[in-house]
Structure 1
Amino acid sequence: MTCPGPSRGIYVAYFIQGLILLAAAFSLTAGEYFLALSAGVAFLLTMTPSLMTRNLRFCLPWGVNLLVTISLYLHLMGHVGEYYILFAPYYDKLTHLISSSTVAVIAFFLAVLAEHQGEIRLTRGAIVVFILLSTLAAGAVWEIYEFVVDQIFDLGLQHGNADTMIDLIVDLIGAAIVAAFAAIALARADRHRFVRFFADPSSGTEPADVVADPVDLARSR
């Protein structure tokens, strides 16, 4: 699949990726090897949207790449720059809100794509529920990760049950914002328009003109 050229806004994502590499180098020279490793993993994760675009039969909008990059950078700098401490507890809640919104946006795209490429029909309500549950599940996995890391390395990532529950509530708020947008957008527009955000627009083939295999359907867009 040939994807359309990205907007100039993608260079903002590239710039932030560069900042993540600088944070990795700074942590390494400061002897903070765990933070350096975390920065390296964060950088690799920012490459995931590009790898998906190259290897799968759809194109993710550059804005998704930017959201993923911002989310990971904010979390990383919370540790490297000690922003979690300097701006406690607001910085932590901000990172949770942005990260949960990013996960919710990705869940929305995946739900629309699953319907587009398969034989299932998802109602708006089903898509909203999928967005909420996927985001909360990701938030729960993150809290489990923090708990495990605290038990092994004693880093103090979690600050009690109340902090964990507030984090999950903020995750739910981020998911609810995106889910509300998705419900309104799907009510006002044909969901095939959302597919065109990450499908090849160069073919010019309309949904009604395509038949047979869902894989061929994806290739024709």
Structure 2
Amino acid sequence: METQYGMYLAYFFQTLIGLNCIYAFVTGNLAGGFFSALIMFLATLVPFIIAHRMNIHFPWFVFFLIALALWFHTAGYIQGYYEMFYPPYYDKIAHLVSGTTVALLGFLGVIFLDRYWNMNLTAPPSLSGLPSCSGGWPLVRSGRYMNFWWTISSADPLPAQCRTVWKTPCLT
């Protein structure tokens, strides 16, 4: 396996979280600082453990973004970066990195489910040319049946062939 030099960035931010943990312990900030930094440091180890046990090879930036997001919040609280730097901007950057990390982990989770549990997550060809019954939008194609979400109003009654709400065979 070739060396990914970006992993050193992840290790660097893990070290910074560990140093924040030690700093909070030395300064006596046990209740809020030390225990939260310890939990953040342990949370950065979880992806390494999962990747090792399940034999998954994540790209280096996944580990880096997790460590960076947790370092932003840890350093913001323990080192006082929320007050030192202009608070709204530091908070916005911290939440931008955290949101990006959560979105990436969610995307990787869907890929994991698709690959390892053999889920069929492919999209239907094109929903624009498919016939639909009056008042419904095609949502999910399963086999030759199309499931619809109906908006039934008294002004626009449904045609007789589309009165069955679930699994209407509109496709042939």
The answer to whether TM tops 0.5 is yes
1:123-146 deviation line (CA, Å, top 9, x unaligned): 469xxxxxxxxxxxxxxxxxxxxx
For residues 5 and 105 of structure 1, do their structure 2 counterparts lie closer, same or farther at Cα, with a shift above 3 Å needed? same
Pair 1:12 & 2:39 matched: no
Once the two structures are TM-superposed, the CA of residue 54 in structure 1 deviates from its matched residue by: 1.2
Once the two structures are TM-superposed, the CA of residue 5 in structure 1 deviates from its matched residue by: 4.0
For residues 106 and 124 of structure 1, do their structure 2 counterparts lie closer, same or farther at Cα, with a shift above 3 Å needed? farther
Q: Aligned equivalents of 2:3 and 2:16: distance in 1?
A: 21
Q: Aligned equivalents of 1:124 and 1:35: distance in 2?
A: 46
Farther-moved stretch of structure 1 (86-95 vs 96-105): 86-95
Corresponding position of 1:141: none
Q: Aligned equivalents of 1:88 and 1:13: distance in 2?
A: 25
SS in 1 for 2:74: helix
Once the two structures are TM-superposed, the CA of residue 17 in structure 1 deviates from its matched residue by: 1.2
1:149-204 deviation line (CA, Å, top 9, x unaligned): xxxxxxxxxxxxxxxxxxxxxxxxxxxxxxxxxxxxxxxxxxxxxxxxxxxxxxxx
Once the two structures are TM-superposed, the CA of residue 13 in structure 1 deviates from its matched residue by: 1.2
Once the two structures are TM-superposed, the CA of residue 16 in structure 1 deviates from its matched residue by: 1.4
For residues 89 and 5 of structure 1, do their structure 2 counterparts lie closer, same or farther at Cα, with a shift above 3 Å needed? same
Corresponding position of 1:65: 63
Q: Is the 8 A contact 1:10 1:62 kept in 2?
A: yes
1:6-49 deviation line (CA, Å, top 9, x unaligned): 40111111111111111111111111002011111111111111
Q: Aligned equivalents of 1:66 and 1:102: distance in 2?
A: 9
- How does 1:32-51 map onto structure 2 within 5 Å? 32-33=29-30, 34-51=32-49
Superposition CA RMSD, Å: 1.7
Structure 1 ranges of 4+ moved more than 6 A: none
Q: Aligned equivalents of 2:22 and 2:95: distance in 1?
A: 25
Farther-moved stretch of structure 1 (71-80 vs 12-21): 12-21
Q: Which has the higher contact order (CA 8 A, sep 6+)?
A: 1
**Match for residue 84 of structure 1 among 79, 82, 85:** 82
TM-score (norm 2): 0.66
TM-score (norm 1): 0.52
Q: Aligned equivalents of 1:10 and 1:124: distance in 2?
A: 34
For residues 124 and 64 of structure 1, do their structure 2 counterparts lie closer, same or farther at Cα, with a shift above 3 Å needed? farther
1:53-111 deviation line (CA, Å, top 9, x unaligned): 11114222221111100000011111112121232111111111100100111111111
Higher strand proportion (structure 1 or 2) = 2
Unmatched 5+ residue regions in structure 1? 126-221
SS in 2 for 1:120: coil
Q: Give the number of equivalent residue pairs.
A: 122
Q: Aligned equivalents of 2:94 and 2:46: distance in 1?
A: 20
